[in-house]
Amino acid sequence: MHTLKSFLLTTIGALISLSAYSQYEIEVKIKDFPDTTAYLSYFYGKGQFYKDTAEVNPKGEIIFSGKDTLEHGMYSVLVGNSKIFDFLVDAQELSLETDTSDVVGNMKIKGGKENQIFFDYMKYLSTKNAEVEKYRNELSSYQQNSSEYKAIQEQVNTINGQVKEYITQLHRDHQGSLTSNFIYAIEYPTVPEAPAEADSTFGYRYFKAHFFDNFAFDDARLLRTAAFHDKTKYYLDKLTRQQPDSIIEAVDYILAKVKNNPPLYKYTLSDLTSRYERSQVMGMDAVFVHLAKNYFMKDKPEWFAKKNLEKLAERANALDPLLLGKKAPNIIVKDTAMKKFIQLYDVKAKYTVVYIWSPDCGHCKKATPKLKEVYDRVKDRGVEVFAVGSEFENEAWIEFINTHDLNWINGSDGGDFKSNFRTLYDVYSTPQTYLLDKDKKILSKKMSVESLENMLEYYLNKEDEKADNAKMKSK
């Protein structure tokens, strides 16, 4: 019995001792590095975040350690705001040793496999970049059409070819490694010479169609590098027409690519939804509504809290009726005398401006007289303003109308009557401005008076051109 008890105590003691050890330990040694504080940071999506802090001892040694584990991906060693080097985590115990004369070139690694591949690649690139830089400096001494210039350029082309072959061989030898997948992720398509029958858009169409070639959408580690976020952002911002329908098609395409990779899918859907909910670009709320309704509200992902889903659904349902191209909700209010009801749908005009404002709002006090000036210039061209006071007390509203001779359609709540326009038009601040066509479909919204005037001029000029063309044809 005594022997068994001793064995149990020894075993428990060993387990307690083991649990106190670090789950990760990254040893870094940088020869001739000054005593300071160093930081370990990791990449995630569009950001880089601090993970650990350690002091640099007089020997240039740094030890980052913790009782949790490090997710596989790309990390950085930082001092202050300066990055010393990036490296890859594929094991919980790593040793990286170098010196300040050539941090990458003199790097020695122990532990894991990825960093040997990664730093061999970085060292090779560094060597070849130095060769190319030397030749490019020589190019400035010669005329572009000279034999010397062409000979040097040929040397540069040869080096570029060697780099391509090196990378191709790396992919063959280390297929599926994070280094290989990372290189694929940061590569951009090389557009071939256009066929004789191709039009001027061939280069753009080819580049876009092949933009994600070889991208490892099944590798969640790419989320922990800058490559994934940067690649998708470039596709959406640079290769996609900045118009809601085009953006919606693009986000659906990207989400389909990551659908079977839960970490990438979760990040991408959350990031895109947040991005387009906060977008200040007119019309992009349609992308937010699309994502909310077709992915969150429809699929109800388990990782998204029920309360957050309810808030998201409430926001999407509020914005949905107010999207560009949709018929604006009807507004029923009382006139300034508080005797009769007036409604938006009764307004007969080529273009109607819905203007929701408050006489106590600082922006409204500046914008409303400006809108009055615009209205006086365009009212005879088929434009009407349906202005709604947002306050429940009307004395200041009536006074402002009379003072500034606001001779458009004015309406507000009155007496016991309370309209629901605040909910219908998602009124959280004033002024709110919408431009509607003759069928009350929303053409533009939530814009300054200056932007409204430009939009009106655009549409009215189009009407005039159409009328002029019709006259010409009738002659």
pLDDT above 70 for 10: no
State mean pLDDT over 242-253: 97
Q: Dihedral of the CA atoms 324, 329, 335, 336 (nearest 10)?
A: -50
State mean pLDDT over 76-87: 94
pLDDT band at 145 (very low <50, low <70, confident <90, very high): confident
Size of the chain in residues? 475
18-32 confidence digits (pLDDT tens) = 445 569 999 999 998
pLDDT above 90 for 223: yes
pLDDT for position 11:
43
pLDDT for position 475:
64
Is 321 exposed, middle or buried, given 0-12, 13-18 or 19+ CB atoms closer than 10 A?
middle
pLDDT above 80 for 159: yes
Q: Which tokens belong to 194?
A: 């256009």
Contact 210, 189 (CB under 8 A): yes
376-391 confidence digits (pLDDT tens) = 999 999 999 999 999 8
Is the preceding omega at residue 431 within 30 degrees of 0, hence cis?
yes
pLDDT above 70 for 5: no
The CA distance from 223 to 347, in Å, is 53
Q: Which tokens belong to 64?
A: 């980052």
Chain mean pLDDT for the chain: 92
pLDDT above 80 for 2: no
pLDDT above 80 for 276: yes
The CA distance from 218 to 229, in Å, is 15
- Residue that is written with structure tokens 């959350």 in the block: 270
State mean pLDDT over 433-448: 96
What percentage of residues in the chain have a pLDDT greater than 70?
Answer: 95
3-state secondary structure of 53: strand
The DSSP output letter for 294 is: I
* Secondary structure element (H or E) that encloses residue 144, with its range: none
CA–centroid distance for 415 within its chain: 47
pLDDT band at 470 (very low <50, low <70, confident <90, very high): confident
pLDDT above 50 for 1: no
* Closest of 157, 158, 220, 222 to residue 184, by C-alpha: 222
408-418 confidence digits (pLDDT tens) = 999 999 778 88
pLDDT for position 19:
42
